[in-house]
Amino acid sequence: MSDSLAVLQKISFFQHMNDDALQSLLDVAEQVTHTSRSVIVEEDSPANGLFVLINGNAQVSKHDDAGNEVEIAILRKGDFFGEMALLDAGTRSATVTATTKCDLIKLNQDAFLQWLANADSRATLQLFAALTKRVRDTTERVLQDELNKQALESEMQIERHRALAQMVAGVAHEINTPLGIINTASNLITNRISGGEIQAIVANDRRTRRKVEDIEEAADLIQRNIERAHRLVQNFKKISVNQVTDTREPVKLVELVDDSVDLFRINARKSNLNTSIHSEVNDNAVWEGYPASMTQVIMNLLTNVERYAYTVMGGDIHIKLSESGESFTLTVQDFGAGIAPENLAQVMSPFFTTGRSKGGTGLGMAIVYNIVTDVFAGTIEIQSAVGEGTSVVINFPKQAPEKHKSIT
Ligand SMILES: Nc1ncnc2c1ncn2[C@@H]1O[C@H](COP(=O)(O)OP(=O)(O)O)[C@@H](O)[C@H]1O
Ligand SMILES: [Mg+2]
């Protein structure tokens, strides 16, 4: 049995037990022999104990999603399986088949629990320590897997935004040319209509004059809408950050945020908004970044608060700055209407707006998202509850990438 003792000692569960304790455990175990090709345990069958291979080889196999049996491991002398089944009564997660004649030690759950009841407290404690470590290792692995999955998902989300932004910018570029042509043509109409020749003709002809006035009005309408379309196209282009001509420079972050908020002052007064800045960052702290982009981000956020959070009578806007390690955090918080849960996931998608009737284009947050993730290499998170308000939290490194990824 000393061979078996050595094998048992290798099992993490029993690692710290002394020889006496292990021997007493072996005393309650059985020795079993399996002929070649016989099944030792079967997948999904009730599991009730630990097996240790003392001699011979066995194969571990499992059914995959398609129902095919796949070999996942080969067991050799000294290998063991089913140690967790000593404690819980689950089912076998795989089938183990002897590939040669196999000698095994089989420790039944009942026998083990009986042994545990009589074991001295030190052995019990050691067992629990080993078990705890095993649980902790598994938890850590699961946690790490989850973190990896989340990182992948946010990477995919950034990619999706990038692709969409690229498309929008492309469309904007294409629309620009026909827009230019329409502009020239409508200018021509306006010029010709207001020219002396036509005005002379209509001077004495009231009916024709009215028609010409209609044309003038229509041409004016076209002009104004071309301007509007032009502004939209400019916005569409901004969505793609390679349109940003900003260059990286060291700036005092607190001052930059102050100045940006200042630009909003007229709107704030008009809409009864009370903006306050709480900074935990030193006034002289430097951000190696893109000031014009930062101003744009802040303006877009504040404009949204004005437009969506406080539609009736204004309210407070808290702007917070903090730092930790290598990054800054900028939070813009309002205590207004909030965002409905079903909209929350979409607010950063281009063209998503609940304010189409108020002139919303749904581009503001998409631009903010792209600037933060691409230009600042940062992250953005929105927390919101209907009736309580919205917080946009932007975290970005103290040094932005010198050349951000361009979208071309
Ligand atoms: N502070 C806020 N409070 C409530 N809703 C907001 C806020 N900020 C953004 N939203 C919602 O997100 C949507 C998208 O915003 P945005 O991309 O800036 O587009 P737009 O301003 O053109 O509607 C808005 O239509 C609004 O529904
Ligand atoms: Mg907006």
Judgement on whether residues 391 and 329 belong to the same structural domain of the protein: yes
Query: How much is the pLDDT for 115?
Result: 87
Q: With helix as H, strand as E and coil as C, how does 67-93 read?
A: CCEEEEEEECCCCEECCHHHCCCCECC
Tell me if 172 is assigned to some domain.
yes
C-beta of residue 106 within 8 angstroms of C-beta of residue 51: yes
User: Which tokens hold the place of 232?
Assistant: 């939209």
Judgement on whether residues 298 and 365 belong to the same structural domain of the protein: yes
Judgement on whether residues 213 and 304 belong to the same structural domain of the protein: no
CA atoms of 184 and 186, how far apart (whole Å)? 6
Rounded mean pLDDT of 24-50?
92
Judgement on whether residues 385 and 266 belong to the same structural domain of the protein: yes
Tell me if 219 is assigned to some domain.
yes
C-beta of residue 96 within 8 angstroms of C-beta of residue 51: yes
Give the ligand 1 atom nearest the CA of 304.
Answer: 8
Mean of pLDDT over the chain: 88
Residue 38 scores a pLDDT above 90: yes
Judgement on whether residues 265 and 353 belong to the same structural domain of the protein: yes
Residue 304 scores a pLDDT above 60: yes
User: Which tokens hold the place of 141?
Assistant: 């692995």
CA atoms of 398 and 24, how far apart (whole Å)? 62
Q: Measuring from atom 12 of ligand 1, which residue has the nearest CA?
A: 347
* Ion ligand 2: residues, Cβ under 5 Å: 304, 364
How much distance in Å is there from the Cα of 306 to the middle of ligand 2? 9
Q: Show contacts of 341-347: CB within 8 Å, 24+ apart.
A: 341/386, 344/382, 344/384, 347/382
Range of 270's domain?
A: 249-397
C-beta of residue 87 within 8 angstroms of C-beta of residue 131: yes
Query: How much is the pLDDT for 241?
Result: 60
Q: With helix as H, strand as E and coil as C, how does 164-224 read?
A: HHHHHHHHHHHHHHHHHHHHHHHHHHHHHHHCHHHHHHHHCCHHHHHHHHHHHHHHHHHHH
Residue ending a domain, among 239, 266, 283, is 239
Residue ending a domain, among 239, 268, 289, is 239
Choice between 50 and 1, residue whose per-residue pLDDT is larger: 50
Residue 356 scores a pLDDT above 90: no
Q: Report CA 218 to chain centroid distance, whole Å.
A: 48
Rounded mean pLDDT of 272-296?
94
Q: Give per-residue burial for 11-35: e unless 16+ CB within 10 Å, then b.
A: bebbeebeeebbeebbeebeeeebe
Closest-CA residue to 59 (of 99, 19, 2, 115): 99
C-beta of residue 32 within 8 angstroms of C-beta of residue 106: yes
> In whole angstroms, how large is the CA radius of gyration of the chain?
36
Tell me if 233 is assigned to some domain.
yes
pLDDT digits (tens, 9 = 90+) for 77-93: 888 888 878 877 788 98
How much distance in Å is there from the Cα of 272 to the middle of ligand 2? 18
pLDDT digits (tens, 9 = 90+) for 218-262: 999 999 999 988 888 887 777 666 545 567 899 999 999 999 999
Tell me if 143 is assigned to some domain.
no
Judgement on whether residues 204 and 253 belong to the same structural domain of the protein: no
Q: Minimum-distance ligand to the CA of 348?
A: 1
Query: How much is the pLDDT for 407?
Result: 41
Total domains in the chain come to 3
CA atoms of 32 and 347, how far apart (whole Å)? 64
Give the ligand 1 atom nearest the CA of 360.
Answer: 22
Give the ligand 1 atom nearest the CA of 303.
Answer: 21
Count Cα atoms within 13 angstroms, Cβ side, for 155. 6
How much distance in Å is there from the Cα of 281 to the middle of ligand 2? 27
Judgement on whether residues 16 and 65 belong to the same structural domain of the protein: yes
How much distance in Å is there from the Cα of 186 to the middle of ligand 2? 31
Judgement on whether residues 272 and 188 belong to the same structural domain of the protein: no
Please enumerate in sequence order all residues whose Cβ is within 8 A of that of 43, keeping only pairs 6 or more positions apart, or say none.
61, 62, 63, 91, 92, 93, 94, 95
Pocket of ligand 1 (CB under 6 A): 300, 304-305, 307-309, 334, 336-337, 339, 343, 347, 352-355, 360-366, 390
Residue ending a domain, among 119, 139, 174, is 119
Give the ligand 1 atom nearest the CA of 366.
Answer: 17
Tell me if 149 is assigned to some domain.
no
Judgement on whether residues 307 and 327 belong to the same structural domain of the protein: yes
Q: Measuring from atom 1 of ligand 1, which residue has the nearest CA?
A: 305
pLDDT band at 198 (very low <50, low <70, confident <90, very high): confident
pLDDT digits (tens, 9 = 90+) for 132-155: 887 888 889 999 988 888 888 887
Tell me if 139 is assigned to some domain.
no
How much distance in Å is there from the Cα of 105 to the middle of ligand 1? 67
The one-letter amino acid at 192: R
Give the ligand 1 atom nearest the CA of 352.
Answer: 14
Tell me if 36 is assigned to some domain.
yes
CA atoms of 39 and 31, how far apart (whole Å)? 16
Q: Measuring from atom 6 of ligand 1, which residue has the nearest CA?
A: 308
The one-letter amino acid at 21: A
Judgement on whether residues 62 and 101 belong to the same structural domain of the protein: yes
Query: How much is the pLDDT for 246?
Result: 66
Judgement on whether residues 183 and 291 belong to the same structural domain of the protein: no
Q: What is the CATH number of the domain that holds 29?
A: 2.60.120.10
End-to-end CA distance of the chain: 71
User: Which tokens hold the place of 312?
Assistant: 């009736």
User: Which tokens hold the place of 39?
Assistant: 């099944």
Question: β-pairing, 315-324 with 273-279?
Answer: parallel
pTM of the model: 0.59
Judgement on whether residues 386 and 270 belong to the same structural domain of the protein: yes
User: Which tokens hold the place of 83?
Assistant: 């140690």
Tell me if 403 is assigned to some domain.
no
How much distance in Å is there from the Cα of 130 to the middle of ligand 1? 53
CA atoms of 255 and 142, how far apart (whole Å)? 44
Query: How much is the pLDDT for 408?
Result: 36
